[in-house]
Structures are given as structure tokens and as C-alpha cells.
């Protein structure tokens, strides 16, 4: 008896997805619950388990776009009824998914020319690798569903909003002092490191409470003002940038924020986030400084109205009173929808962030 493997539902509003990669090979014996393939939707990816034990028959190849409910494979359950010796022989007969190595050419070998070379290729002095280049020298592969969605939403954000970015810089001395002095006890209590992001989440909540227009958004001809503070924190993954959301961040302690962020980021990187965890944020924070960025103009996570960009911390000379001293400084960027948020509110919002970070005791005391 053969059982169908169907594309599961991944969200009410999602009707199609993409086969990311098969985790088992054609003809392989699998057991019920084994992960068969990765399914990429517009928001996240997930592994789909086998509905039964048996031999796998793949009907749809990796990279193909599929619809919810579509049959993409079958499981031959009768194959598991064979004697164990036969099963062992069958398993050993499955061809390896690892391609055989391509022997490298000796220095005296002369590569065969490709037909129809373009003038650009004729003039290029770069060595060619026939095993990795297509006939025209360009390798083509389909975009993932997540990358398609990122591209579409960025264009949508640019088209629908009037973005403007304002900048400031913040002295990280006090936050770094607290992390150094309290980091060990914090980790012992919460089982997670005290990072920078919890300070910025707390600072963002304080600024959003002071300037609620930044927490609002335009929808059609209406102004929507959320009564909550759901903060999205961008996480870079191999599949693209994901933004899991910290719900009711104003009610979370520093320890709860760090623990939630660590757990969300860990699951984001392996494609285990639920769709609901990526939806409904009212404001987003992104940290390009993790990769060494000094300055950037981030694009708000549409339909949100604003996004805070953190950047790399660098020690540089700054004026403090009448003296020039060396301090660990970070540039901040706030990109906002100028249709809704005026320059005054944007600047004051960013100044509030700066004030909270440079005087973190106010965040700790809830001031």
C-alpha cells in the first residue's frame, strides 16, 4: 500500500510554498516521523515528517513550487514488511547522494573551448571550472520563497511609504560597564548572557511610549495605534532575514528578553519558527553592527512605520565637556514613514533612545 505525502498547511493566508531540499533520497527506507523534506513558505521554512514507514518515492523535485495539499511523494509501506536482511540489502543498494570527485587537470592539460563564447568570456583570463559553470558561464537556481517574499515586501515598502532616515550616535560606556560587572551573576540567574539587545529593546519601548506615533501605522485612509509593544528583532539566517517578534516587550525583564531572543534566534536559524511568531510586530530593531556595519539606512518592515538600526561599536575620540576622550561609540539610524511621522518626533524618538542607553539605570529603574 502506498501512502501520499502532501504539502501541509503552513498558515491561513498561504496557498503555495516551495520544496527547499529533500532530506531523504529516492528509494530510501524511511520511518514514520523521519523528516523528509524542507518546505519553504513566504515567512519561514519547516521540515515535513514522513506519515508512515516504508520506501520513499519522490514525485516533485527540490526547488519546485507547490500548492497546499499537493502530493509530492509516496511511501510504500509494504517495503517495511520485507525480512530484515532484505531491508539491509536494499539500504546498501541505495545510490549515494554524494557526487563523485572530479579529478583535477594537470598543468599541461588544455581545456576544450566552449562553443559560442561571448566577447566578455573571450577576453577573460579567469580559469574555468567546467564542473560548476553552466554553458554560458552563469549558474542559475530558483529563488527561495522567503527570498521572493523579502524582495516583494522591500519593493512594496519603497512604493507605499515615504521613507526618511535620521541619525545619531550613542556612548556605550555605561552599558558595557554594566555588562562587565553584572554579566556573570546575570548568566547564573537567567542561564543566558546579558547582551546589548535587551538594553535597546527596553530603550525602544521607552521611546515608543513617549512618542506613540512611531508605534503607529497607516492602513488605507486610517491611522492604527496599537496599544501594545510587540518588538521585532531581525535575525540573519542562511535562508534570508527573518524578524521574530517579542510580544508585549514592555512587560518583559532583561532576563526574559535575552532568553526569548536566544530561543527565537536559535529556532530561526534552523527553520523552526511558527508563522505566528513572525507576524504582527509594531516596531523593529536590526543590528548590522554584528557584521561590522558602520552606518546604514534600514528599510522598515512593512507595514510598520519605523525601524531602528544599530551598528558596530568603535572606540573613537569624542568631546566630553571641555575634554577629548576615547569612548566606545555606536551610530544609530531611525528610518521612518514621513507620511505619518514628522522630523521632530523622529529626532526626539532617537534622542530618547540615546538617553536611555547612555543612562541605563533609568531603564533598570523603569524611569
pLDDT of residue 54: 94
Q: Are 141 and 63 in contact (CB under 8 A)?
A: yes
Grade residue 159 by pLDDT with cuts at 50, 70 and 90.
confident
| Residue 367: pLDDT band with limits 50, 70, 90 | low
Contact 62, 145 (CB under 8 A): no
pLDDT greater than 80 at residue 230: yes
pLDDT in tens, 55-98: 999 999 988 889 989 999 999 988 876 544 444 444 444 443 43
End residue of a domain, out of 92, 115, 142: 92
Q: Note whether residue 130 is domain-resident.
A: no
Q: What is the DSSP string of 163-221?
A: EEEEEEEEE-HHHHHHHHHHHHHHHHHHSS---SHHHHHHHHHHHHHH-GGGG-EEETT
Q: How many domains does the chain have?
A: 2
Domain end marker among 66, 92, 118: 92
Lowest model confidence (mean pLDDT) among 9-23, 85-99, 178-192, 277-291: 85-99
The pLDDT tens digits of the residues spanning 185-198 come to 999 999 999 999 99
Same domain for 335 and 220: yes
Closest CA to 165 of 349, 358, 352: 349
Closest by CA position to 359, among listed 96, 268, 367:
367
* Together in a domain, 197 and 303: yes
Buried b (16+ CB within 10 A) or exposed e, 206-239: bbbeebebbbbbeeeeeeeeeeebbbbbbbbbeb
Does 112 score more than 70 pLDDT?
A: no
**Position 43 pLDDT exceeds 70:** no
Let me know: does 139 contact 133? Beta carbons within 8 Å: yes
Q: Are strands 231-233 and 283-287 parallel, antiparallel or unpaired?
A: parallel
Taking CB atoms within 8 Å and a gap of at least 24, the contacts of 222-225 are 223/340
Average pLDDT on 248-263 reads 96
The residue with greater pLDDT, 21 or 336, is 336
Residues annotated as part of the active site: 338, 342
Domain boundary among 70, 92, 114: 92
CATH number at residue 72: 2.40.50.100
For residue 59, give its domain range. 2-92
Kindly report the three-state secondary structure assignment for every residue of 94-160.
Answer: CCCCCCCCCCCCCCCCCCCCCCCCCHHHHHCCCCCCCCCCCCCCCCCCCCCHHHHHHHHHHHHHHHH
- Give residue for cell 529626532: 347
- The answer to whether 329 and 318 are in contact (CB under 8 A) is yes
Give the helix/strand (H/E) hosting 283: strand 283-287
CA separation for the pair 273, 21 (Å, rounded): 18
Amino acid at each position: 500500500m502506498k501512502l501520499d505525502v502532501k504539502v501541509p498547511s503552513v498558515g491561513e493566508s498561504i496557498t503555495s510554498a516551495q520544496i527547499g531540499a529533500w532530506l531523504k533520497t529516492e528509494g530510501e527506507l524511511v520511518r514514520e516521523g523521519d523528516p523528509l523534506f524542507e518546505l519553504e513558505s513566504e515567512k519561514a521554512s519547516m521540515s515535513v515528517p514522513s506519515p508512515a514507514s516504508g520506501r520513499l518515492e519522490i514525485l516533485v523535485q527540490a526547488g519546485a513550487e507547490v500548492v497546499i495539499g499537493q502530493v509530492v511523494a509516496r511511501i510504500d509501506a509494504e517495503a517495511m514488511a520485507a525480512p530484515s536482511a532484505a531491508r539491509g540489502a536494499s539500504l546498501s543498494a541505495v545510490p549515494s547522494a554524494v557526487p563523485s570527485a572530479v579529478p583535477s587537470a594537470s598543468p599541461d592539460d588544455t581545456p576544450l573551448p566552449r562553443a559560442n563564447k561571448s566577447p566578455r568570456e573571450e577576453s577573460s583570463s579567469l580559469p574555468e571550472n567546467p564542473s560548476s559553470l553552466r554553458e554560458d558561464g552563469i549558474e542559475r537556481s530558483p529563488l527561495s520563497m522567503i527570498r521572493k517574499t523579502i524582495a516583494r515586501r522591500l519593493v512594496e515598502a519603497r512604493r507605499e511609504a515615504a521613507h526618511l532616515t535620521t541619525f545619531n550616535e550613542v556612548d556605550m560606556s555605561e552599558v558595557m560597564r554594566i555588562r562587565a560587572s553584572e554579566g556573570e551573576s546575570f548568566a547564573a540567574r537567567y542561564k543566558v548572557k546579558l547582551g546589548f539587545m535587551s538594553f535597546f529593546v527596553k530603550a525602544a519601548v521607552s521611546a515608543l511610549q513617549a512618542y506613540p506615533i512611531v508605534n503607529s501605522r497607516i492602513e488605507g485612509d486610517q491611522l492604527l495605534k496599537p496599544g501594545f509593544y510587540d518588538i521585532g528583532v531581525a535575525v540573519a539566517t542562511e535562508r534570508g532575514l527573518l524578524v521574530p517578534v517579542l510580544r508585549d516587550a514592555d512587560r518583559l525583564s532583561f532576563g526574559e528578553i535575552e532568553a526569548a531572543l536566544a530561543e527565537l534566534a536559535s529556532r530561526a536559524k534552523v527553520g523552526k519558527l511558527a508563522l505566528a511568531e513572525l507576524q504582527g510586530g509594531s516596531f523593529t530593531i536590526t543590528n548590522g553592527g554584528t557584521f561590522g556595519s558602520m552606518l546604514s539606512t534600514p528599510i522598515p518592515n512593512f507595514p510598520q512605520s519605523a525601524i531602528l538600526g544599530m551598528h558596530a561599536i568603535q572606540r573613537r575620540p569624542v568631546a566630553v565637556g571641555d575634554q577629548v576622550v576615547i569612548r566606545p561609540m555606536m551610530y544609530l539610524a531611525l528610518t521612518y514613514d514621513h507620511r505619518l511621522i514628522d522630523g521632530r518626533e523622529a529626532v526626539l524618538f532617537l534622542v530618547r533612545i540615546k538617553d536611555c542607553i547612555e543612562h541605563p539605570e533609568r531603564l533598570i529603574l523603569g524611569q
